[in-house]
Amino acid sequence: MWINEMFGTKKPIIAMLHLDPLPGDPRFGHDGGGLSDAVEHAKRDLDALQEGGVDGVIVSNEFSLPYQRHMDFVTPASMAYIVGQLKSQLSVPFGVDAISDGLACIELAAACEADFVRGTFSGVYVGDGGLYNNDFSMLMRRKAALHLDNLKMLYFINPESDRNLDTRDLSEIASSTIFKVHPDGLCVSATAAGSDVSTGLIASVKKKNPEVAVLVNTGCRPDTIREKLSVCDAAVVGTYFKEGGRLEDENFNNVRVDVDRVREFMKVVSEVRSEI
């Protein structure tokens, strides 16, 4: 499977690299820092993730809350600037996620030569941010126009926090999506970052769609990752790797990555791989 080839291992662990608030975001500068501070924080987190042994990273604008369905230009521009600052430091494959804006995600990937993207590229959802529709016919044509033939696309098929208005079983939605756009991977999530995903749900999606990489997208911890990897092809991990396993601190600021937590987690993953 392509995912094993790209990351050079079975059952790869892809870490989230959460960027601080960016220019234009409501909380940008609330901690007294600017874009240069966001760059330094990202470099520090990337060091910790790579030193801890992860197999890949996804750079995301996690703290651009509330998320825009159609981003201001400054957001992907800032993300591209930060990725440019990280490029010489990157030693693992990397992807980008311009949260809630599939078009911005694809164009950002083109600008910074990302290996893959993760995003909400299909479906109709409702949530705190209102109703939004993803036009994958337009997105796939834009990807083709940008000659991104080698860009791998990881699709959310049940995005965190939002409800799909399609009432079909998730495995059926996955099969339909595969028929129409041939995604490279399907990300299965719980209702929020850090929340545990039902192993049965992941297994049902994989069983019905064995030819596509299926990733557990939220809630992985050392005590659960063995079970999750028994039914999926890879895992995306964010919250657990941070200090105290917290997404944000008491002042709603981005919490830094803890290299010891990364090492602890990857030690369990290494044991799982040795048993396959």
The pLDDT tens digits of the residues spanning 205-242 come to 999 889 999 999 988 999 999 999 999 999 999 999 99
Mean pLDDT of 52-60: 98
In whole angstroms, give the CA distance from residue 115 to residue 74: 22
Q: Which CATH number is associated with domain 2-275?
A: 3.20.20.70
Q: What pLDDT is attached to residue 141? A: 97
| pLDDT reading at 194 higher than 70 | no
**Which pLDDT value is given to residue 191?**
65
Whether 193 shows a pLDDT value over 80: the answer reads no
pLDDT, average across residues 120-133: 86
Confidence (pLDDT) at 123: 86
This prediction has a pTM of 0.94
Residue 276 has pLDDT above 90, yes or no: no
Average predicted confidence (pLDDT) for the chain:
93
Answer whether residue 121 shows pLDDT above 90: yes
Which of these ranges, 10-14, 98-102, 155-159, has the smallest mean pLDDT?
Answer: 155-159
